[in-house]
């Protein structure tokens, strides 16, 4: 089955710890994205990558970091510098740089206490 | 700042009725428009995309785009309880690469 996987589904961390969220896709999509969603709010873009070994900051990149070493993988690290890390994190991908339709993974719900 | 606006709802419609969801956006020059459905606790699912003025139909769903008035709407015919979800409007703005800007979503409730 082709699709986007995110792991884990739920993640709990203590304040001050860095945590890495996994995102893998086997759709052969070039572009990948990370969003966060807070209750009652729309999706906000954290980082995106249109090609391997290249990525750009989105609207709320502070306190986050990413890498894109493989086409299939786009992990997101939530660092201790992120002031309000508790949120629902969504990874998405799209066919190529010129196509805007994005498809989402199932998400990771991160709780930091 | 490019913006996408939606009424948060909830919008309540009886089963079998037509549900009409609306979305306005701030930039007249925009490229692509999308509707996503999101069930509570789940990730968004793409249900419609529309790129040019007019109507686009897919089963019970119709997307309507009016670039001059800067709005896009989604009609759901013969609404079913399983359509109860939050519907997110997303816009790809010209010059914004392939980034999507999302509205905050409209909650739809289809009542028996």
- Is the pLDDT at B71 greater than 80? The verdict is yes
Report d(CA B13, CA A28) in Å as an integer.
Answer: 40
Query: Which chain A residue's Cα is nearest to B104?
Result: A42
Nearest Cα neighbor of A4 from A50, A72, A69 is A72
User: Pairing mode, if any, of strands B106-111 and B11-14?
Assistant: parallel
What pLDDT is attached to residue A39? 86
Inspect the interface and report whether the beta carbons of B31 and A100 lie closer than 8 Å.
yes
Closest to B92 (Cβ–Cβ): which among A31, A41, A100?
A100
Question: What is the average pLDDT score of chain A?
Answer: 93
Nearest-Cα distance to chain B for A100, in Å, is 5
- How does pLDDT run across A74-104, given as a tens digit for each residue? 999 999 999 999 999 999 999 876 567 999 9
If pLDDT is split at 50, 70 and 90, which confidence band does A40 have?
confident
Report d(CA A111, CA A17) in Å as an integer.
Answer: 12
Inspect the interface and report whether the beta carbons of B88 and A103 lie closer than 8 Å.
no
- How does pLDDT run across B13-54, given as a tens digit for each residue? 999 999 999 999 987 677 889 999 999 999 999 999 999 999
B20 burial type by CB count under 10 A (0-12 exposed, 13-18 middle, 19+ buried): middle
Closest to A101 (Cβ–Cβ): which among B8, B34, B99?
B34
What pLDDT is attached to residue A98? 58
Backbone angles phi, psi at A82, to 5 degrees: -75, 120
Q: Does A10 touch chain B (CB under 8 A)?
A: no
B31 burial type by CB count under 10 A (0-12 exposed, 13-18 middle, 19+ buried): middle
What pLDDT is attached to residue A66? 98
Nearest-Cα distance to chain A for B112, in Å, is 25
How many angstroms from the chain centroid is the CA of residue B35? 4
Nearest-Cα distance to chain B for A103, in Å, is 7
State yes or no: cis peptide before B10, omega within 30 of 0. yes
| List of chain A residues whose C-beta atoms are within 8 Å of the C-beta of residue B105 | 42
Report d(CA A42, CA B1) in Å as an integer.
Answer: 15
Q: Is the dihedral of CA A105, A108, A23, A56 positive or negative?
A: positive
What pLDDT is attached to residue A97? 61
A63 or B92: which leads in pLDDT? A63
Nearest Cα neighbor of B67 from B87, B48, B51 is B51
**Stretch among A62-71, B81-90, B95-104 having the lowest mean pLDDT:** B95-104
Inspect the interface and report whether the beta carbons of A50 and B98 lie closer than 8 Å.
yes
């Amino acid at each position: 089955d082709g699709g986007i996987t995110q792991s884990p589904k739920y993640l709990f961390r203590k304040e001050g710890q860095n945590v890495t969220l996994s995102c893998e896709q086997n759709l052969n999509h070039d572009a990948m994205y990370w969003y966060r969603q807070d209750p009652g709010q729309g999706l906000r873009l954290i980082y995106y990558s249109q090609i391997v070994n290249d990525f750009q900051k989105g609207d709320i990149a502070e306190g986050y970091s990413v890498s894109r070493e493989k086409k299939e993988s786009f992990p997101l690290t939530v660092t201790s510098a992120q002031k309000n890390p508790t949120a629902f994190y969504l990874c998405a991908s799209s066919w190529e740089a010129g196509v805007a339709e994005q498809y989402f993974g199932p998400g990771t719900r991160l709780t930091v206490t | 700042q490019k913006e996408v606006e939606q009424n948060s709802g909830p919008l309540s419609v009886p089963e079998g009725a037509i549900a009409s969801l609306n979305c306005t956006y701030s930039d007249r020059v925009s490229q692509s428009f999308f509707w996503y459905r999101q069930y509570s606790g789940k990730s968004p699912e793409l249900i419609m995309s529309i790129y040019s003025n007019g109507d686009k139909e897919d089963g019970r769903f119709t997307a309507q785009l009016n670039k001059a008035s800067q709005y896009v709407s989604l009609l759901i015919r013969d609404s079913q309880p399983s359509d109860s979800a939050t519907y997110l409007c997303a816009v790809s703005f010209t010059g914004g690469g392939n980034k999507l800007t999302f509205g905050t979503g409209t909650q739809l409730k289809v009542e028996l």
